[in-house]
Amino acid sequence: MTTKNCTVLLIEDDPADTQLIMEILREEPENAMEILHADNLAHGLKALAHGGIDVVLLDLTLPDSSGYNTFIMLHEHVSAIPVIVLTGIDDKELAIRIVREGAQDYLVKSMVDYTMLARSIRYSIERKQTLMEKDKLIAQLREALADVKTLSGLLPICASCKHIRDDKGYWHQVEFYIQQHSSAVFTHGLCPKCAQKLYPKAAASDEISKQDEAMSHAKPPSRQGI
Helix (H) or strand (E) holding 73: helix 68-77
164-165 and 171-172 beta bridge pairing: antiparallel
pLDDT for position 116: 86
Coil vs helix vs strand at 58: strand
- Please determine, looking at this structure, whether the domain spanning 3-133 carries the CATH number 3.40.30.10: no
User: Which residue type does 127 have?
Assistant: R
Digitized pLDDT (tens) for each residue of the chain, 226 residues in all = 445 578 999 999 999 999 988 888 887 655 568 899 999 999 999 999 999 999 999 999 999 999 999 999 999 988 889 999 999 999 999 999 999 999 999 999 988 887 888 888 888 888 888 888 887 888 887 877 666 655 666 778 888 888 888 888 889 888 888 877 777 777 877 788 887 887 777 766 766 666 666 666 655 555 555 4
Contact 73, 40 (CB under 8 A): no
Q: Any idea what the Cα angle at residue 194 is, between residues 193 and 198, rounded to 5°?
A: 125
The residues spanned by each domain of the chain are: 3-133
